[in-house]
Structure 1
Amino acid sequence: MDQKLKEQFDGLMTKYTELMVGEAGEERKEKIRMWALYTHMSKTMPPLVKHWNEKYPDAKEGMKELIEEVRDMNQQYRNEQK
């Protein structure tokens, strides 16, 4: 993969994370990346995600927690912006 593209996409992820939750440290960027990918996969290939959730119930719970955390961070950030 082209290094320039990776750097430019990382910049996009940084800005997206900032707009979603207010700051874009590496840990937050990774959480947003996982949240975005999982959400997209669950909409575009629900049987795959269902299979994964059934195969790895502990990971399913971890994703539920991550989704709630991202939702809460987003809500807190939006409330601070008002």
Structure 2
Amino acid sequence: MEKDFAQQFEALLEKYSELLVGETDGETKEKVKAWALYSHIAKSMPALIGHWSALYPEARAEMKEIINEIKVLNEQHRQSTKK
């Protein structure tokens, strides 16, 4: 990957994280990236997610936690922007 593209894509991810959950710190961006990629894979190849979940139940549990955290942060962010 070219350096310029990597930086530009990182800027896209940062803005997406800001709009989605209102936070752009590194840990939150990584969670948003994992959530977005997992969601895409689940929609486009659900059998792969099923296979992965069976192989790595601990990772699946962690992914569920990330999904729930993103959901809560998104709801909090939406509520705070309504005011």
> Tell me, which stretches of 5 or more residues in structure 2 are unaligned?
none
Q: Give the equivalent residue in structure 2 for 1:25.
A: 25
Instruction: Name the CA distance, whole Å, in 2 between partners of 1:9 and 1:51.
Output: 29
Letter in structure 2 aligned against 1:61: A
- Residue 68 of structure 2 aligns to a residue whose secondary structure is helix
Indicate whether 1:10 and 2:38 are aligned.
Answer: no
Instruction: Name the CA distance, whole Å, in 2 between partners of 1:48 and 1:22.
Output: 31
Poorly superposed stretches of 4+, deviation over 6 Å: none
How many residue pairs get matched?
A: 82
Normalising by structure 2, we get a TM-score of 0.97
Identical-residue share of aligned pairs (%): 46
Normalising by structure 1, we get a TM-score of 0.98
Q: CA RMSD in A?
A: 0.5
Instruction: Name the CA distance, whole Å, in 2 between partners of 1:2 and 1:25.
Output: 23
Residue-by-residue CA offset, 1:29-69 (whole Å, 9 max, x unaligned): 00000000000000001111100000011111111111000
